[in-house]
Structure 1
Amino acid sequence: MKLTSNAEHWQLDRLIMCHAIAAIIGASMIWPVTAELWLNISSAVFFLLNGSLLWNESWAVLWAALNTKTYDVLGAVLMFLPTIWYIFAGSDHDLKERIARTSVTWGTVIIVVFMSKILLPSIDFHSPTLVLKPVVYLNELVPWIDAKWESKNSFPGDHAVAAFSFVGMVFLLLNKKTGILTLIFGILYSVPRLFSGAHWLSDELVGGGMALFIALGWMSNLPTLVWSRYIWSWIFSRLPKRG
């Protein structure tokens, strides 16, 4: 199934296929065989990353700072910056086309994150800090920083939902250079919760993977970009003409 950013019409069969893949990824959290595999892998990753907080004080302070609400905002801004750069410095399309593509990228990610907040907040899935032992508690190790270290509804990882869908859309709609920069910032945005133990690795990979296929499904199989072009053409046509 080839994904393209130039869908001119609704392609419901391919759209359903993307949602089916997302559903299969999500089902891996509840099918006993894969659920046990995810638990083992995620537990091993948690003990490795969370245990590293005892290496030294500077290392612990770093990850405490990266698990604050302040960094949540900063990390999101950094992840969006490459797309701002693309609008004003990109050369693969004209300005109107770059704005149309970027606005679809932003809009799709906002919708996906909003849907995850509305549809999935009732899932009772505790973070590893509330389930596993031994645990290094960031709030005790670095008490002067208000770091997020636990969650009673850890699935899906909200940072991963935003990062996976955003990076996927950037690679599909913008260009490789912008995609690589966004990928780097997306990783920096998602990883901190694994060190603090507020999320399992499966929260990030499964939740993010579902968001990725849903976002790409909509963009690749609906004429979303066509609609965006019409809207921005209408806006540009009403701007004052120069000289």
Structure 2
Amino acid sequence: MDYPALFQPKWNAKKFMLCNLVALALLLLWIWPTGHAAFTHFDEGLFHVLNRPLEQNKAWLWIWTIASMRPFDVVVGLILLTLLIKGEWVFKSLQTRAALIGFVLTLILLLIIRTVFSKIIDHSALQHDSASMMIPDAIKLSDIFPGLEDKWQLKDRSSQSFPGDHASVLLIWAMFMSVYSRTVSQRVVIWALAFLFMMPRLVAGAHWGQDDYIGGVMIALLALGWSCYTPFVATVTAFLFRLTAPAFNVLGRLPLLKCLSIMKQGSHL
């Protein structure tokens, strides 16, 4: 069965403007002194709610310690990738290769936007240390497990906390998947996973809440708008789809790979 093209090489002016205007509004609200103070007050309360149980509950401590280590990020990445290329879930089997290429392009765009924005913030008075470094009574995982910080790259602090880079990647994945999801249950699973995987940095204090719900959302919205609602992702995906077709045809003959949807003969845009 033939399916329509996943990406359309045209502007969606309404959604493009919405993404950019919401991102701008979030930034202005965060810069506004009253708004910034309100966010900080809320985040202090949120941090204590999430962080204090580390001292009182061993299960809570071990769950978020494991989830705060870099190897766990690899596990998260594999879960997100699996759901992205899982045929007949959000995307049709023959559309998964285009979806993968399109998402990688969107992710690259996000990284460029985040890098430029972070450099601007770093040279302003708006940058801040993470919650674990600024709140005196914070429970620090690196103090409880000092050997894990170097050996397993335990993440519980940052001197350049805004915007939340980890959250921005999770959010762009959730937004990208939601754009093409077809059912409410799919969106519930997508966003539940995104929020769950954002939690380790918040519990450990590596980021303030505003680093995620302001900075992460803003960066993700900009990437989504410039990727999916302009001709960019459709045009470049079409080019890369043709360019990589011979490689996929070869890899698709390998026993462990040929069962994947992205390797199917005839996968198209």
Question: Structure 2 vs 1, CA of residues 161 and 189 (structure 1 numbering), >3 Å: closer, same or farther?
Answer: same
In 1, Cα distance between equivalents of 2:176 and 2:13: 19
The residue type equivalent to 2:241 in the other structure is W
Return 5+ residue gaps in structure 1 as ranges.
Answer: none
The residue type equivalent to 2:148 in the other structure is I
Task: Give aligned-pair identity as a percent.
Answer: 21
Q: Does 1:127 align with 2:130?
A: yes
Q: 2:167 aligns with which of 160, 166, 169?
A: 160
Question: Structure 2 vs 1, CA of residues 70 and 220 (structure 1 numbering), >3 Å: closer, same or farther?
Answer: closer
The residue type equivalent to 2:56 in the other structure is W
Q: 1:104 aligns with which of 102, 105, 119?
A: 102
Q: Which sits farther off after the overlay, 147-156 or 170-179?
A: 170-179
In 1, Cα distance between equivalents of 2:80 and 2:227: 20
Which residue of structure 1 lines up, in the alignment, with residue 198 of structure 2? Answer: 190
* 1:68 CA drift (Å): 1.0
The answer as to whether partners of 2:86 and 2:93 remain within 8 angstroms in 1 is no
The answer as to whether partners of 1:159 and 1:189 remain within 8 angstroms in 2 is no
Equivalent residues in 2 for 1:51-66, closer than 5 Å: 51-66=52-67
The answer as to whether partners of 1:161 and 1:211 remain within 8 angstroms in 2 is yes
SS at match of 1:43: helix
Q: Does 1:171 align with 2:178?
A: yes
* 1:194 CA drift (Å): 0.6
Which residue of structure 2 lines up, in the alignment, with residue 75 of structure 1? Answer: 76
Q: Does 1:140 align with 2:148?
A: no
Q: Does 1:206 align with 2:214?
A: yes
In 1, Cα distance between equivalents of 2:92 and 2:239: 16
The answer as to whether partners of 2:67 and 2:200 remain within 8 angstroms in 1 is yes
The answer as to whether partners of 2:15 and 2:229 remain within 8 angstroms in 1 is yes
The answer as to whether partners of 1:9 and 1:221 remain within 8 angstroms in 2 is yes
Question: Structure 2 vs 1, CA of residues 236 and 75 (structure 1 numbering), >3 Å: closer, same or farther?
Answer: closer
Q: Does 1:232 align with 2:233?
A: no
The residue type equivalent to 2:191 in the other structure is L
Provide the TM-score with structure 1 as the length reference.
0.82
* 1:219 CA drift (Å): 3.5
In 1, Cα distance between equivalents of 2:242 and 2:92: 14
SS at match of 2:197: helix
The residue type equivalent to 1:210 in the other structure is M
* 1:12 CA drift (Å): 5.7
CA RMSD of aligned residues (A): 2.9
The answer as to whether partners of 2:113 and 2:219 remain within 8 angstroms in 1 is no
Which residue of structure 1 lines up, in the alignment, with residue 49 of structure 2? Answer: 48
Q: Deviations over 1:149-191 (max 9, x none)?
A: 1111001111110011111011113544654443333223211
In 2, Cα distance between equivalents of 1:115 and 1:202: 18
The answer as to whether partners of 1:106 and 1:166 remain within 8 angstroms in 2 is no
Aligned residues: 235
The residue type equivalent to 1:205 in the other structure is Y
Question: Structure 2 vs 1, CA of residues 135 and 90 (structure 1 numbering), >3 Å: closer, same or farther?
Answer: closer
Question: Structure 2 vs 1, CA of residues 107 and 226 (structure 1 numbering), >3 Å: closer, same or farther?
Answer: closer
Q: Which sits farther off after the overlay, 27-36 or 117-126?
A: 117-126
